[in-house]
Amino acid sequence: MRRSLLLVLAVALVFTSCAKKRTEEEYQNLAREAKSKEDWRSALKYERDLIKYYPKSEKIVEYKKAFLEDLIQAAEKDTSATNKKLLYDEAIKIGEEVDKTKANLARLRLGEIIEKSDSLKAKEIYSSIPQKELEILAQLELGNQNYESALKCYSILIATYPNDTSAYKWYFMSGFILNEYFKKTAESKEFFKVVFEKYPNTELADDAKFLYDHAGENIEEVIFRADSAKGTRK
């Protein structure tokens, strides 16, 4: 019995040592191949092993950043809310080491999931994201055409920092997104109205009034008609 146990332990040690003998390049290739097959679980495992076995590699920061990107991408593709939470939690931890903006993106995504069942917990998560980071995330999400998430960022900013000197910009962008991408004319006008009524001396007040008056219309056509009218009057 004792001999059998020793044999099992010996075999386990052999397999463990073999796993450690993979080179950095091999782990990268295995992860890349797994991702090409949409096998995110295997890809993330290889990346975890790469980071675990080569913590002093001169490329360790590069490995962690790639792992962070893949954690977020895997979470977005996963259909299980539980798995998403675990992946975003892991992304937050590693993101704090190598990319705080990506860490806060993971927090935002985590909050959006949790908000469906626990609004207070979600609020705690949102409040842990610094103001400047929320502004950066809003622009990133807008650039990536994640309009709902961008709108969420501005909503959090307005709710958390209502008296900030940049608040009028958040109201304006909220109105713009609602009007331009969601075609929610009535809702967008509420935000535009706040800008030109509450912040009449800001640089966006006139634009807000213009968009309020023409919400739901094709803005390019409105501008074209206005320019044509000016030309006719001349």
Confidence check: pLDDT of 14 > 50: no
Q: Is residue 190 part of a domain?
A: no
Q: Quick one: which of 111, 141, 140 has its CA closest to 126? A: 111
| Domains of the chain: total | 1
Q: Is residue 117 part of a domain?
A: yes
Range of the domain at 63: 23-129
Q: Is residue 221 part of a domain?
A: no
Q: What is the pTM of this model?
A: 0.82
Q: Quick one: which of 210, 129, 142 has its CA closest to 170? A: 142
Output the average pLDDT for the chain: 90
Confidence check: pLDDT of 51 > 50: yes
Any residues with CB less than 8 A from the CB of 64 and at least 6 apart, and which?
51, 94, 97, 98
* Residue 27 CB coordination number (10 Å): 21
pLDDT tens by residue, 201-234 = 999 999 999 999 999 887 777 665 655 555 555 5
Residue 67 maps to which CATH number?
1.25.40
pLDDT of residue 231: 56
Any residues with CB less than 8 A from the CB of 49 and at least 6 apart, and which?
19, 22, 27
pLDDT tens by residue, 91-126 = 999 999 999 999 999 999 999 999 999 999 999 999
The answer to whether the beta carbons of residues 42 and 34 sit under 8 Å apart is: yes
Any residues with CB less than 8 A from the CB of 163 and at least 6 apart, and which?
none
